[in-house]
Structure 1
Amino acid sequence: MVERVRGLLRMAEDPSVTDAESQAFTAKAAELMTRHAIQEAEARAERGEEPDAISRMDHVVTGLGGHGKARVKALADIAAAYGCQSAVRGNTSDTTDRTIILVGTVDALEALQLLFPSISNQMEASAKFMSSTHVADIRELRNYTRSELETERKRYYRSFVRAYGQAVAERIREFRARMQENAAQDEADGDSGEQGSQEASSRGADLVLREDVHRVQEEFQKQFPQLRKHRPERTHSAAGYRAGYRRGRQAELGLETTVESGGKETSPLPENAEKAGQGSTR
């Protein structure tokens, strides 16, 4: 399965494929990894084995363009949707690289390691295109200076990236919740004579979506007993945030999430979203 995912991602990163094809390959990879993690946990529970081990992964995030904090926030949100917790080292406001430290199950970390590059590529490509379009549009409104346009472009880009990560994370949570509901429905529809098997399956689903969360929290606290909150970015573009959220909801992830209903996004933007903390750092 992992080799299939790697093959899909290699095709997604092939410069000869179209954007739509690239997103489709990434979509299938994301769905395979998400299903695999849950099914593996259920299988271990049914065999009476220990749950997936908790581990740690360090992921370097580029500070290119001064957008490193926004990228960290987006990736941390996505990691949290997979049940991981994160800390950040070197998350300054300049253009230097920084490291996001993830604690989670081995399956979740393996999925993120494979998927982060492709999801990031889609996010960055969308942010670049949309911020350039935005600057071109406002340039026609009045005579902005070059400095003012560059400031607006950066504000838009950063807000877009943060919102994109939030929207993708929401979709991952929705997909995992649907899998849990489907497992519960399968158990309800099962034959009463298979009670032992149903209990094992129920425990497997619970391992993925509930027990793992507590085990990850405990390990995270052991590794990082004292963390300080780091300051959220002050720069904010409402237009960039709306566009990023919309693109994140529409991004091809293969998670079968309805994007629109009646011409509107299914999940409205929370009014206080930009005031949320950036996570933890050390």
Structure 2
Amino acid sequence: MTDAESQAFTAKAAELMTRHAIAEAEARAERGEEPDAISRMDYTVPGVGGHGKARVRALADIAAAYGCQSAVRGNTSENTDRTIILVGTVDALDALRMLMPSISMQMEASAKFMSSSHVTDIRELRNYTRSELETERKRYYRSFVRAYGQAVAERIREFRARLQESAAPEGVSGSAEGARSRGAELILRDDVHRVNEEFQKQFPQLRKHRPERTHSAAGARAGYRRGRQAQLGLDTPLSSGGTSALAESD
């Protein structure tokens, strides 16, 4: 199986998991059962190239689209690995565990190709020094990655909205199916509040995550375009959250 086939397979599996999660929410609502449990997942983010902070920002945005909250340990400017800690429903974390490696592979491949092309293009404009070209490549790469994550998260939220709309057909508001759909929607909405409560319990004191200062408008535009085209099976998955930085001593 090629990388492209593997990514497409993973993306489709994540989409099916999301559809299943919403169907399960409907079934739990119909049976009067408790909603999906809240759990935690640690995910290692590489710092190679000095782009770790940008990768964390992109993945945190994607996790937030699934209704997860995130904190980060070891998010320095060094090339070392850091850990993004995700708190969310079991179903959301299962989908992220499968999808995030695939998204990361696509994001890195696109960022490398586009940043190299960008440097080649600007080199032809005037006589840049090697140092200037490397600085521009890094700025472009980081902006590309951050925008890529934003675009993927946007598509996930759009997909979830479509799933919720299709779960509540017109003209069934008084039927058992309509009541089940409304019950599932309430459970999914309540997931956000339950995740937030659990996140605050686990991480009551967090330092604010400092945004990176470097920015490339060209990199951001390219990253957003590529993120809208990423293989998500799509379309893909789940709700709203945020990210903060963990103190090293936590």
Tell me the TM-score normalized by structure 1.
0.81
Task: Identify the match of residue 218 of structure 2 among 214, 239, 261.
Answer: 239
SS in 2 for 1:150: helix
Distance 2:151 2:225 in 1: 8
Report the equivalent of 1:200.
Answer: 180
RMSD: 1.7
Report the equivalent of 2:105.
Answer: 121
Distance 1:197 1:107 in 2: 23
Contact 2:69/2:243 (<8 A) preserved: no
Higher mean alpha-carbon deviation, 72-81 vs 47-56, is at 47-56
Find out whether 1:42 has 2:26 as its counterpart.
Answer: yes
SS in 1 for 2:102: helix
Do the aligned partners of residues 31 and 52 (structure 1) sit closer, same or farther apart at CA in structure 2, a change above 3 Å counting?
same
Q: Please state how far the C-alpha of 1:254 moved relative to its aligned partner.
A: 2.4
Q: Structure 1 stretches of 5 or more lacking a match?
A: 1-13, 258-277
Distance 1:167 1:191 in 2: 34
Report the equivalent of 1:102.
Answer: 86
Deviation sequence 1:200-259 (CA, Å, 0-9, x none): 231113212x110011011111111111112111111110000000100111212249xx
Contact 1:26/1:119 (<8 A) preserved: no
Task: Identify the match of residue 228 of structure 1 among 189, 207, 211.
Answer: 207
Distance 2:220 2:177 in 1: 46
Q: Please state how far the C-alpha of 1:23 moved relative to its aligned partner.
A: 4.3
Do the aligned partners of residues 34 and 147 (structure 1) sit closer, same or farther apart at CA in structure 2, a change above 3 Å counting?
same
Q: What aligned pairs does 1:253-264 form with structure 2 within 5 A after superposition? A: 253-256=232-235
SS in 1 for 2:167: helix
Deviation sequence 1:16-62 (CA, Å, 0-9, x none): x263x344323312321221221121112112211000011111100
Find out whether 1:280 has 2:234 as its counterpart.
Answer: no
SS in 1 for 2:234: coil
SS in 2 for 1:144: coil
Report the equivalent of 1:154.
Answer: 138
Report the equivalent of 2:60.
Answer: 76
Task: Identify the match of residue 70 of structure 2 among 78, 86, 107.
Answer: 86
Contact 2:173/2:179 (<8 A) preserved: no
Distance 1:24 1:224 in 2: 35
Tell me the TM-score normalized by structure 2.
0.91
Report the equivalent of 1:172.
Answer: 156
Displaced runs of 4+ in structure 1, greater than 4 A? none
Deviation sequence 1:175-214 (CA, Å, 0-9, x none): 1011111122x2x33385xx34431231113212x11001
Report the equivalent of 1:213.
Answer: 192
Distance 1:206 1:175 in 2: 18
SS in 2 for 1:164: helix
Report the equivalent of 1:271.
Answer: none
Do the aligned partners of residues 103 and 18 (structure 1) sit closer, same or farther apart at CA in structure 2, a change above 3 Å counting?
closer
Find out whether 1:163 has 2:147 as its counterpart.
Answer: yes
Deviation sequence 1:41-92 (CA, Å, 0-9, x none): 1112112211000011111100011000000000000000000000101100
SS in 1 for 2:42: strand
Q: Please state how far the C-alpha of 1:99 moved relative to its aligned partner.
A: 0.5
Q: What code does the residue aligned with 1:221 have?
A: Q
Distance 1:249 1:255 in 2: 11
Q: Structure 2 stretches of 5 or more lacking a match?
A: 237-241
Distance 1:18 1:63 in 2: 22
Number of aligned residue pairs: give it. 241
Distance 1:232 1:45 in 2: 40
Distance 2:173 2:201 in 1: 43
Find out whether 1:190 has 2:175 as its counterpart.
Answer: no
Alignment identity in percent? Answer: 80
Q: What code does the residue aligned with 1:199 have?
A: A
